[in-house]
Amino acid sequence: MPPLDPILWLIPVLPLIGFLINGFGAGRIPGPAVAAIGLLGPLGAFVLSVMALLALAGGVEPAGVYFSWIQTADFSVGFGLHIDQLTAVMLLVITGVGSSIHLYSYGYMSDDPGIGRFFAYLNLFMCAMLLLVLGDNLLLMFVGWEGVGLCSYLLIGFWYEDLENADAGRKAFIVNRVGDLFFLLGMFTLFSLVGSIEFAALADALGHADLQSEVQNGPFAGYTLQRALQFAGICLFLGATGKSAQIPLYTWLPDAMAGPTPVSALIHAATMVTAGVYMIARLDFMFVHLPTVMAIIGLVAAMTATMAGLFALVQNDIKKILAYSTISQLGYMFAGVATTVFFAGVFHLVTHAFFKALLFLGAGAVIHSLEGEQDIRKMGGLRKDMKLVFVLFTIGSFALAGLPGLAGFFSKDEILASVLLLATYEGGMWGVTWWLLVFTAALTAFYTMRMLILTFFGPPADPHRHPHHVHWTMTTALVFLAILSAFAGGALLHIDLISLEHFTEPAWSHGIAHTLHETAHHDHFDAHWVALLYSVGAVGIGVVGAIGVYGFSRKQLADFVEGPGAQLHWLLENKFFVDEAYDYLFVQPVSKGAYKLWEKVDRKWIDGRMVEGPAKVTYWASGWLQKLQPGVVNAATSAVAAGSVVVLAYLFISGMGG
């Protein structure tokens, strides 16, 4: 196989070419051609990603610095791309799942007049996401980070004629900018400590550094290196909470469901929202030295997972249920990487991409067939009308719920086992994290089964309903993702040839949980079996509870919601009023402050004094001078004569004085 280094740049550029062609040709290229052009870029990137995987298997890490990007004083950044085991996994997820969603998108968007613009935005997103994971330094990662944020804004507000969609796009853009500020602070901190933002240089410097040594210069002079790194770690995690929708910056993701369903699948389930998880895994060499920061990340992640699971219980919009489920599962991923068993978090990232993309696209098939209906209370009985979609959606639902044998079960078990080790041997916040995650497992099974039952079982809400036919491109993508959701988890964990754990092992720095695995082995404490018992028990409770409540006891549920549980249901339905609190604490003060600045400073002082003031003075002066020179010949002649007399008199007097 020829070396990949010289053509590595083609991986992000191929989707970029599709963006340029469809973007400039929007409205002039036929729909099938638009879809073909849009699909070729991700497929080409997928082929190159497989080549990179084979190169890694052969012991070669493809890399290349193609030009010097920034060179000033002691700051130098090259446009460098690099593929290691972690990058290769991300590339395959992005291009593989991305290609299937591009295929699905043609069937879903074929009748939309903006299909060219839609595929252009999808391709631009793919380019940015690939750049994010390929960059060999933090600044290049940040360019991709901002790129996916821009594309998220464009795609959420794709149907911008609807004000709700436009508002959702703006909300996503602004909330993510808050997180990006902290990303920048973390990046600047690392540069001030190490003098570089390249991952290889950072790993080398921090891998051999004395963390208790005192920083000699810069803004952290006098602090220990570990204290300064803790600040960087917290800032970077706060940046990740924006992109990956964790407390406190999660509120944008449910509103992002306003965009077309393929957008929800690609950006808000499978790829973009996992960027924060990838970033922490990419900086594993730093985070393994910050156990307190990792414990905080684990607790925040578990709280996010539980909170989002509670909100999902009472949602009736099928996409909103999946949106809160995504936030919850992202919490699992962060908890996984927080244990420093980074493989566990990345494993769940991979399996989640499969089954959550399947669920979103399956929901899209239902919505498309019902002419835009998204309320699960108005569905029911669809298993008879949409047999194939029902089977595929059920596979995705069971994988999300964590039923044994499916993808989500294996990856959740890895996370729970690692968290249990830390809870057992370290205690503290990890104990709370463990119980929250177990409780969330039961919540996940409950709300997933509720969604499945209300959508596909029971009598149809409308007996005269006739669902539309699902396009073959949509069902093809669903079948592909269903196969991965059913079998990929066990295969990636237990088949030595493709074991994700063994393949990614060279990419990781070992933290405390790795040591605890060895300790537990000697103590004959098998965390996997204990975690397995708890998780299977939690899933069983959730599944049985949902079947009992929504299969046989809906009247009792209604009585509870209208009676003793009314206040709780009201709180959950309004999402603990977090959006309203943010609006009161941040949005309204900023909006009112901006209005006052415009009114008092911009309009009164800048426009009224600094701009209009000189103009008024000039106008007044010109009017006064105009009276002195009215343009009358006699007046002008008299003025000249008077002036001459004055001059002659002056000269005469001056002469006499001499």
> What are 308-360's pLDDT values in tens digits?
999 999 999 999 999 999 999 999 999 999 999 999 999 999 999 999 999 99
In which band, very low, low, confident or very high, does the pLDDT at 514 lie, cut at 50, 70 and 90?
low
**Is 47 inside any structural domain?**
yes
Question: What secondary structure does DSSP assign to 521-572, as a single string?
Answer: HHTT--HHHHHHHHHHHHHHHHHHHHHIIIII-HHHHHHHHHTTTHHHHHHH
Paired with 77 in beta bridges are 70
Percent of the chain with pLDDT over 70: 95
In which band, very low, low, confident or very high, does the pLDDT at 628 lie, cut at 50, 70 and 90?
low
> How far is the C-alpha of 334 from the C-alpha of 342, rounded, in Å?
9
**Is 80 inside any structural domain?**
yes
Tally of domains within the chain:
2
* The pLDDT of residue 251: 93
Mean pLDDT estimate for the chain: 88
pLDDT at 42 over 80: yes
Region 558-585: mean pLDDT is 83
Task: Residue 99: give the domain boundaries.
Answer: 1-136
pTM recorded for the entire structure = 0.90
Using alpha carbons, select from 89, 216, 113, 66 the residue that is nearest to residue 499.
89
pLDDT at 557 over 80: no
pLDDT at 574 over 90: no
CB 214 within 8 A of CB 223: yes
Region 13-40: mean pLDDT is 91
> How far is the C-alpha of 496 from the C-alpha of 444, rounded, in Å?
30
Paired with 214 in beta bridges are 224
* The pLDDT of residue 347: 95
**Is 494 inside any structural domain?**
no
pLDDT at 295 over 80: yes
* The pLDDT of residue 637: 79
pLDDT at 492 over 80: yes
Count of CB atoms situated within 10 Å of the CB of 479: 15
Residue ending a domain, choose from 136, 166, 198 = 136
Taking CA atoms, 131 is separated from 12, 16, 140, 146, 191, in Å, by 6, 11, 7, 11, 21
Using alpha carbons, select from 385, 397, 272, 384 the residue that is nearest to residue 325.
397
pLDDT at 645 over 60: yes
**Is 634 inside any structural domain?**
yes
pLDDT at 287 over 80: yes
The three-class DSSP label of residue 137 is: strand
71 φ/ψ angles, rounded to the nearest 5 degrees: -140, 105
**Is 100 inside any structural domain?**
yes
Which comes out higher in pLDDT, residue 559 or 291? 291
CB 280 within 8 A of CB 119: no
pLDDT at 111 over 80: yes
- Most confident residue range from 172-176, 521-525, 637-641: 172-176
In which band, very low, low, confident or very high, does the pLDDT at 518 lie, cut at 50, 70 and 90?
low
Question: What secondary structure does DSSP assign to 265-322, as a single string?
Answer: HIIIIISGGGHHHHHHHHTHHHHTT-HHHHHHHHHHHHHHHHHHHHHHHT--BHHHHH
Per-residue burial over 333-342, b if 16 or more Cβ lie within 10 Å, else e, is: bbbbbbbbbb
> How far is the C-alpha of 503 from the C-alpha of 492, rounded, in Å?
10
**Is 12 inside any structural domain?**
yes
> How far is the C-alpha of 391 from the C-alpha of 398, rounded, in Å?
11
Q: What is the CA radius of gyration of the chain?
A: 31
pLDDT at 36 over 60: yes
State the first-to-last Cα distance of the chain, in angstroms, to the nearest integer. 106
pLDDT at 658 over 60: no
* The pLDDT of residue 235: 96
> How far is the C-alpha of 35 from the C-alpha of 31, rounded, in Å?
6
What confidence tens digit (pLDDT) does each residue in 522-555 have?
554 677 888 899 999 999 999 999 998 887 777 7
* The pLDDT of residue 515: 65
> How many angstroms from the chain centroid is the CA of residue 455?
28
* The pLDDT of residue 2: 65
Residue ending a domain, choose from 119, 136, 153 = 136
Q: Give the up-direction half-sphere exposure of residue 639: CA atoms within 13 A in the CB hemisphere.
A: 10
**Is 653 inside any structural domain?**
yes
DSSP character at residue 469: P
Using alpha carbons, select from 147, 177, 153, 151 the residue that is nearest to residue 165.
153
* The pLDDT of residue 97: 94
**Is 109 inside any structural domain?**
yes
User: Interior CA angle at 160 toward 155 and 163, to 5°?
Assistant: 125
> How many angstroms from the chain centroid is the CA of residue 658?
91
What confidence tens digit (pLDDT) does each residue in 233-264 have?
999 999 999 999 999 999 999 998 888 889 98
Taking CA atoms, 610 is separated from 475, 593, 600, 621, in Å, by 64, 21, 13, 17
Paired with 137 in beta bridges are 198
> How far is the C-alpha of 228 from the C-alpha of 222, rounded, in Å?
10
pLDDT at 277 over 90: yes
> How far is the C-alpha of 323 from the C-alpha of 567, rounded, in Å?
24
pLDDT at 1 over 90: no
Region 454-471: mean pLDDT is 81
Cis peptide before 6 (omega within 30 of 0): no
- Residue 324, judged by CB atoms within 10 A of its CB (0-12, 13-18, 19+), counts as buried
Residue ending a domain, choose from 77, 103, 136 = 136
